[in-house]
Amino acid sequence: MDKLKPCPFCGSNMAFVQNSVVDKQTEGVHFDIPVAVVTCGYCCATVGFFKIKGDISIEEAEAKAIEYWNMRAGDEEDYDEL
């Protein structure tokens, strides 16, 4: 798993990855597709990823959420790849 950069909003290093598994009840919301989010444990900023169509694993969803979290201003040349 890629290393998480500090929070782009508060600068904290308290970010962590959360995910749902298929058919799991999570905090009152039912997810029937793989969902992964990166959340700052200090300011609660959150970036998430899920794919509606096609097969994707939890690991792939987590990798995409981390990729989005780690993207910063100045990385615009990478946006076309997302």
Residue 25 pLDDT exceeds 80: no
Structural domains of the chain, count: 1
**Structural domain contains residue 3:** no
> Is 8 domain-assigned?
no
Helix (H, G, I), strand (E, B) or coil at 34: coil
The answer to whether residue 64 sits within a structural domain is yes
SS3 69: helix
What global pTM score does this model have? Answer: 0.73
Average pLDDT on 34-62 reads 83
Residue 2 lies in a domain: no
Residue entry with tokens 């997810």: 31
Q: Which residues constitute the domain of residue 54?
A: 15-71
pLDDT of residue 5: 96
Residue 62 domain flag = yes
Per-residue pLDDT at 45 exceeds 90: yes
pLDDT of the residue at 78: 58
